[in-house]
Amino acid sequence: KAGVTQTPRYLIKTRGQQVTLSCSPISGHRSVSWYQQTPGQGLQFLFEYFSETQRNKGNFPGRFSGRQFSNSRSEMNVSTLELGDSALYLCASSFSGTVRGDEQYFGPGTRLTVT
Amino acid sequence: QQPVQSPQAVILREGEDAVINCSSSKALYSVHWYRQKHGEAPVFLMILLKGGEQKGHEKISASFNEKKQQSSLYLTASQLSYSGTYFCGTERGDDKIIFGKGTRLHILP
């Protein structure tokens, strides 16, 4: 079956702009988690959605938001971009969530560069 | 709250063994191990759940000491394909995985 897909793969934005990233999970998976990966901080949890509801949120400012649609596709939005938001944004899907022992499947990521 | 991984980096020759450790200061529900090769997405290796259940690939072994909040990943008879960065992620039963900063493993032929 098809893996997790993320669009776009690369993005260059200017400080102050906003950006929307998209993630399509593996068919049948209802949980989608988002992570920010940077060389200095590693993989940091942003939030997790399950059946269109945000179940968990990491320690990121309110400029980072997300949503999930009825088909489990998810989007994350970052408003008022800052230089420090430059990172690889990864989404991962699982059947019902990691607390139930489900493995996550990661997408290839979206590389965001803020200038 | 972020788990601590050790060592930060290790270089091995093909065929040698390695152990990567992950420790947390908080009580854990599960520990997750992933490997990421340069320029690629992290790939699932193993989940260790409180109570002893494990899910993962046959060639990978790991342990989870619930009392000490520690986990170790054992890589035996390493192959060139094992190179990459290994991340442990800890979860406290809330569907939120907190990843360590990773252990870089380089296998020499």
Residue B57 has a pLDDT of: 72
Angle at B13 between CA B9 and CA B14, to 5 degrees: 115
Q: Does A97 touch chain B (CB under 8 A)?
A: yes
Q: Is the pLDDT of residue B12 over 70?
A: yes
**Residues above pLDDT 90, as percent of chain B:** 69
Inter-chain CB proximity B97 and A109 less than 8 Å: no
- The closest alpha carbon to B91, from A66, A104, A49, belongs to A104
Q: What percent of chain B has pLDDT over 70?
A: 99
Cβ–Cβ < 8 Å for A112, A55: no
Residue-wise pLDDT tens digits, A39-83: 888 899 999 999 999 988 999 999 999 999 999 999 999 999 999
Work out the average pLDDT over B21-44: 92
pLDDT > 90 in chain A, percent? 83
pLDDT surpasses 80 at B59: no
pLDDT at A37 over 90: yes
Mean pLDDT of B12-33: 93
Neighbours of A49 (CB within 10 A): 27
Chain A residues near residue B87 by CB distance under 8 angstroms: 42-43
CA atoms within 13 A on the CB side of A28: 7
Residue B93 token pair: 């039963």
* pLDDT value for B13: 96
pLDDT for B55 equals 80
> Which pLDDT value is given to residue A103?
86
Question: By a Cβ cutoff of 8 Å, what residues of chain B touch chain A?
Answer: 29-30, 32, 34, 40-44, 47, 49, 53, 55, 87, 89, 91, 93-102
pLDDT in tens, A105-115: 999 999 999 99
pLDDT (0 to 100) of residue B26 = 87
**pLDDT for res B53:** 81
Residue B102: pLDDT band with limits 50, 70, 90: very high
Per-residue pLDDT at A1 exceeds 70: no
Phi then psi dihedrals of residue A111, to 5 deg: -90, 110
- Which pLDDT belongs to residue A100? 67
On chain A, the residues whose CB falls within 8 A of the CB of B42 are 43, 90, 92, 106
> Cα(first)–Cα(last) distance of chain B, in Å?
37
Confidence of residue B107 (pLDDT cuts 50, 70, 90): very high
Both tokens assigned to A101: 């022992």
Q: Which pLDDT score, from 0 to 100, does residue B62 have?
A: 93
Tokens 């493995």 belong to A103
Contact between A93 and A32 under an 8 Å Cβ cutoff? The reply is yes
